[in-house]
Amino acid sequence: MYFTHCTVLHQPDSVITVESGANVTLQCFFTENYTIYDMFWYKQIKGQRPCAVAMARVVADPIFYKGYTNTRFNISRSKKRLSLSIINTRHWDEGVYYCGVEIFFDIEFGNGVFLAVNVSSFNATAVSTTESWIAVVIFLCNIIGICAVWIICLCIRIRQEKALSSIPNRPHRNHMSIHIENPDAESHTSSF
């Protein structure tokens, strides 16, 4: 005998829009009592495969998958509802979220809800202003660094010149002097 499920998981919203930094709760409703099954939330970013966010297990604490922590994400369930709360949303939270239930090794999915995260104009200005200041500081540090290198090179050059000027006059590098003394004759110096 072959057994199939026609599970009805209903996500009431097709799109939810929130401002960056706001909290949001995604809802999934079902007609049957699924408290004996593990339930999931998946996220899909356009052009990518869905990835598991969290699992509400039957008899244990929820599991949060890689990149999702229980400090920002909370999963809760009741007899007829599965919720995913996101605290302090960020632009990277944007995507389509699907609820799911595992029944006899099959996962049934809801219709999905697209979470759109708006970066407010104030925050966008603050970010771009901050990024501009960071760029200016980096530029100035580079200029200061280049000036410091030039000053160090100049100081080394001055020290070398002072060291050379304190040495008594030496003959030219290609110039040689020979002093020959002959006890029977006068002293004689030749230069080459």
Question: Pick the residue with more confidence: 61 or 184?
Answer: 61
> Judging by DSSP bridges, how do beta strands 9-10 and 73-77 pair with one another?
unpaired
How far, rounded to the nearest angstrom, does the alpha carbon of residue 48 sit from its chain's CA centroid? 19
Tell me the C-alpha distance between 136 and 143, whole Å: 11
What integer is the mean pLDDT of 3-22?
Answer: 83
- Dmax over CA atoms of the chain, in Å, equals 134
Over the chain, what is the mean pLDDT? 79
Tell me the C-alpha distance between 174 and 185, whole Å: 29
What integer is the mean pLDDT of 78-83?
Answer: 89
Please report the DSSP string for 105-130 in residue order: TEEEE---EEEEEE--HHHHHHHHHH
pLDDT over 80 (residue 154): no
How far, rounded to the nearest angstrom, does the alpha carbon of residue 118 sit from its chain's CA centroid? 20
User: pTM for the whole thing?
Assistant: 0.60
Q: What is the pLDDT of residues 106-153, one digit of tens each?
A: 888 999 999 999 987 555 455 556 666 666 656 666 677 676 666 776
What pLDDT is recorded for position 3? 42
H or E stretch covering 162: helix 121-165
CB 114 within 8 A of CB 105: no
CB 101 within 8 A of CB 122: no
What pLDDT is recorded for position 1? 38
- The model's confidence at residue 4, banded by pLDDT at 50, 70 and 90, is very low
